[in-house]
Amino acid sequence: AASPAPLYQAVKKMANDAATDARARRTSARLLVSVQVDVAWGALTGTGVYTGIGDDLRDFPFMDVVGLSSYPYLSGFAQPENMPVTYYSRIGAEAGKPAMVLEGG
């Protein structure tokens, strides 16, 4: 969401090409991409409103698992108790795939 478009396109191509190669080798590895939870919850816009990971699902359709990355600034929520209890689980539910926390600022 914050990177220059050519950089994002290059990362998207590289990841999809690697997934195609892995699938061609009939790997049993579960493929994933780490999505930014804070961005899904409106951190870049400052709204704290859930916008989801639709772009990630479209751009990286090979995902078997959704990796979750978040930073300790809580997407603009003033207090930890203001965070929705579905802060992480909503992303997995949207994707219809297992989700796991990979990075935590």
Which residue type does 34 have?
S
Q: Tell me the C-alpha distance between 17 and 88, whole Å.
A: 28
The pLDDT-based confidence of 95 (bands split at 50, 70, 90) is very high
Which residues, in sequence order, are bridge partners of residue 36? 69
* 4-63 confidence digits (pLDDT tens): 999 999 999 999 999 999 999 998 999 999 999 989 988 877 777 899 999 999 999 999
Q: Kindly report the CA angle at 87 between 84 and 93, in degrees rounded to 5?
A: 120
The pLDDT-based confidence of 73 (bands split at 50, 70, 90) is low
Which residues, in sequence order, are bridge partners of residue 65? 32
Instruction: Extract the tokens encoding 95.
Output: 């994707």
SS3 (DSSP) at 34: strand
Q: Tell me the C-alpha distance between 73 and 79, whole Å.
A: 10
pTM, full prediction? 0.86
